[in-house]
Structure 1
Amino acid sequence: MKVACVGGGPAGLYFSILMKLQDPSHDITVYERNPVGSTYGWGVTYWAGLLEKLTAHDPESARAVAESSVRWSDGIAHVDGVSTTHHGDEGHGIGRHRLLDILTDRARSLGVRVEFEHDLGPDDLPDADLVVAADGINSKLRERHADHFGARVSVGRNVYAWLGTTQVFDSFTFSFVETEHGWIWCYAYGFSGDHSTCVVECAPETWSGLGLDAMNEADGLGALEKLFADILDGHPLIGRAQTGDAVQWLNFRTLTNETWHRGNLVLLGDAAHTTHYSIGAGTTLALEDALALAEALRTTTELPAALARYERERRDALLSVQSAARHSAQWYENLARYIHLPPAQMFALLGQRHSPLLPYVPPQLYYRLDRAVERLDGLRRIKRWLGPRVARTLHARR
């Protein structure tokens, strides 16, 4: 099979690796429009379940990913100077640059051609048996057939900035700071021995009230460093130099598509779907897409049937994740409902922000019920059974 993969992010690169491992005779080229090493995003997160899947399909790249990752198991929340700690599952962080280097090197070692600074548009695609659109939320290939794919984008209310810092956090750290214009907060996590990711978020009224919307990058980063001085401990925040004279503030865009394939063209990763960054699943879902597509092509002879199977399986798998991401984003958009609870209760409900039930139950009552559920195995099973069904019901009513 001749495969053209447009987009050199984790999804496209890992898919090319899997296909070469299945059959070295596949002719595969990955086209990336940006120069090598120009990716943005600081660090990405994943959990042990993903590493197990990567190890099962390509131990060599999985080993390199694991060796380049940092780990944490605690979460710490700072709310106006009061701190509380939660012990949870082990999380992993890896620099996005490092992850892409690992996958690029592995793909090339297997015979994949990876071409940087090669911007393919929908009118100049190479002749191929399969064209994989792994070119992100702004996919040119998808937009060429917008009516067919039926893309829909919903825009979040809050604004956020994706920053780095030389402060190395050994726990997943939240910091909530109250200002005269409302609350502003960040989530921070280490991804190497000398850097961490720091995502800052707030309501638009807080953003404009603090003047962050009008500041140049130096002033904006300086203002944020003062707000989060307690956790930064003198370390600077780092923006993206290539954006010019302002911190890049964004509203998150949640993308869905009515279908994921057309003829020999198939959507992968963020070109097919996005989920709010607050659940830390974007890279994991992209790699799981690659796994599912490669498996469908391996086990299903006819291309249309393979692409249909891939779409069906991934849609089913994403249902609960997309629900969790939607409710997580809404938790932060409705922070005032939770922020004045006692810190331990607030942090517990922060951990429950994915729940479709939480918005409809008074927070303190939900907290007490959740503590009771944790003590009763039978009720815990009911809760796990009920949650996805409530999510489906609410989704169907939209």
Structure 2
Amino acid sequence: MEIVCVGGGPAGLYFAICAKIRDPQHRIRVFERKPEGVTFGWGFGFWDDVLTSLYANDPVTARQIQAASGLWDGIEVQISDKPTAYLGGYGLSMGRLRLLEILVARARQLGVELHFEREVTDLAEFADADLVVASDGINSRLREADQVRFGTTTDTGRNYYLWLGTDKPFGPFQYIFERTEAGWIWLHCYYLDEQRSTCLVEAPPETWHGLGLDQLSPEECLTKLAGIFRRHLDGHRLISQEDQVSTVTGLHGKHVRNARWYRDNIALIGDAAHTTHFSIGSGTRLAIGDAVALAEAVDAHGDDVSAALRAYDSSRRPELDHVQEQALDSMRFLEKVPELLDAPGMDPVQFAFAIARRLGNRGARWRYYLHLATQIQLLRAARGKLTAARRMRAERRRAKNEGSAAQGSARQMEDAL
């Protein structure tokens, strides 16, 4: 089968890997407009379910991703100079550039043809392709060219944000809220590696413009933000990828939904098919899930591309509806942060619990009592031990399944050759 992927991010690359493993006879070409080794963004956050999926589909890639990943353990909520509130949970994270390096190397090893600095403007040049995968991101040109047939709708958030890095390695995931003379502004921070963390700065328009962030150069903006969050950065710097422009451009959360993920022989995956607000940390995780689902559908239906795309759409798209609703709930919650923080009687513990419930699931009453218990250091340590035990169980299950997955992949390769 002739397959073309337009976009060389995690979605397109991992689909190419999964499809090539399932059938090495596929000719798969990936076209990426940026140079190799260039990406926007800092980190990729994920959980055990992603590692399990990676090991099930390609243990070679999974081992490298796991080795390059760091762990953040626990969540801390800090509101100005008030006492810290705590939430449970843990996650894995790694640098986006390192993830792409791993996927590019693996794709090349499997025989995928990679073309960098190659912008696709007309699909007529791929008239011979059996399948075209639109993996060209949130502003997908392939999707935008046919919005009506895909049923594209876009909901833009109110708040501004910047995606930054810092050379301070945070341990727990951090929500840090500071009141300025112009209003509230906050950070979402999580660990990337021993030298870095990623930090997303978010603020409502009143604060953003009141602080003059839209009028500052990148250097001036970073200096101002580092001053606002100085007690949390401990003298470490903030780092921007936006160093070739005169002023900083704040972004808005963009919620893209499509009523249909394919038309003719074109399939949407990753951010081209759907977006989720950065506050739920699921963009790359969902892109990997799309890649696996599409590769499985193509493998199951052989040369019948129409049947494969119908199966992909009918099975995968409904799974994302709930996640996108949660992401929208999270975005709207963060737009109400100033009024919540200024509400009479609101304290860090109550606000932290509101953060935990922001995805629209109130949960059982006992969760609130567990949250209160988590504020006590001794009980928090006990909860941490239980979480560590759960991580170890997940690791043992992956180790047990890895051998059979690797043997299955090897047999597939041998049979095809």
**TM-score under structure 1 length normalisation:** 0.88
Residue in structure 1 matched with residue 84 of structure 2 by the alignment:
84
| Counterpart Cα distance in 2 of 1:235 and 1:346 | 27
8 Å contact 1:212–1:220 — kept in the other structure? Answer: yes
Q: Which moved more, 1:253-262 or 1:140-149?
A: 140-149
**1:204-234 deviation digits (Å, cap 9, x = unpaired):** 0111111112111111111100011011111
Matches within 5 A, 1:304-383: 304-340=306-342, 341-355=346-360, 371=368
Matches within 5 A, 1:261-276: 261-276=262-277
Give how far 1:180 is off.
2.2
8 Å contact 2:28–2:113 — kept in the other structure? Answer: yes
| Counterpart Cα distance in 1 of 2:106 and 2:312 | 24
Matches within 5 A, 1:193-212: 193-212=194-213
Matches within 5 A, 1:157-172: 157-172=158-173
Give how far 1:321 is off.
0.7
8 Å contact 1:73–1:87 — kept in the other structure? Answer: no
Q: Which moved more, 1:243-252 or 1:10-19?
A: 243-252
8 Å contact 1:176–1:185 — kept in the other structure? Answer: yes
8 Å contact 1:84–1:347 — kept in the other structure? Answer: no
8 Å contact 1:153–1:256 — kept in the other structure? Answer: yes
8 Å contact 2:253–2:331 — kept in the other structure? Answer: no
Q: Which runs of 5+ in 1 are unaligned?
A: 358-365, 376-398
Matches within 5 A, 1:140-289: 140-289=141-290
**1:308-355 deviation digits (Å, cap 9, x = unpaired):** 111121222112211111111111101134325221111111111101
- State the SS of the aligned residue for 2:231: helix
Residue in structure 1 matched with residue 27 of structure 2 by the alignment:
27
Give how far 1:141 is off.
1.4
| Counterpart Cα distance in 2 of 1:103 and 1:227 | 37
Structure 1's 9 and 354: CA in aligned 2 closer, same or farther, altered over 3 A? same
8 Å contact 1:349–1:367 — kept in the other structure? Answer: no
Q: Give the letter for the 1:41 counterpart.
A: G
| Counterpart Cα distance in 2 of 1:33 and 1:328 | 32
Give how far 1:49 is off.
0.8
The percent identity for this pair of structures is 43
8 Å contact 2:84–2:348 — kept in the other structure? Answer: yes
Q: Give the letter for the 2:368 counterpart.
A: R
**1:261-281 deviation digits (Å, cap 9, x = unpaired):** 111111111111101000000
- State the SS of the aligned residue for 2:215: coil
Give how far 1:85 is off.
4.5
Residue in structure 2 matched with residue 378 of structure 1 by the alignment:
none
| CA RMSD in angstroms, aligned pairs only | 1.9
- State the SS of the aligned residue for 1:54: helix
Residue in structure 2 matched with residue 72 of structure 1 by the alignment:
72
| Counterpart Cα distance in 2 of 1:294 and 1:76 | 38
| Counterpart Cα distance in 1 of 2:325 and 2:272 | 19
Greater relative CO, 1 or 2 (CA 8 Å, sep 6+): 2
| Counterpart Cα distance in 1 of 2:36 and 2:205 | 35
Matches within 5 A, 1:127-146: 127-146=128-147
- State the SS of the aligned residue for 2:311: helix
Residue in structure 2 matched with residue 395 of structure 1 by the alignment:
none
Structure 1's 18 and 66: CA in aligned 2 closer, same or farther, altered over 3 A? same
| Counterpart Cα distance in 2 of 1:211 and 1:191 | 29
**TM-score under structure 2 length normalisation:** 0.84
Structure 1's 289 and 123: CA in aligned 2 closer, same or farther, altered over 3 A? closer
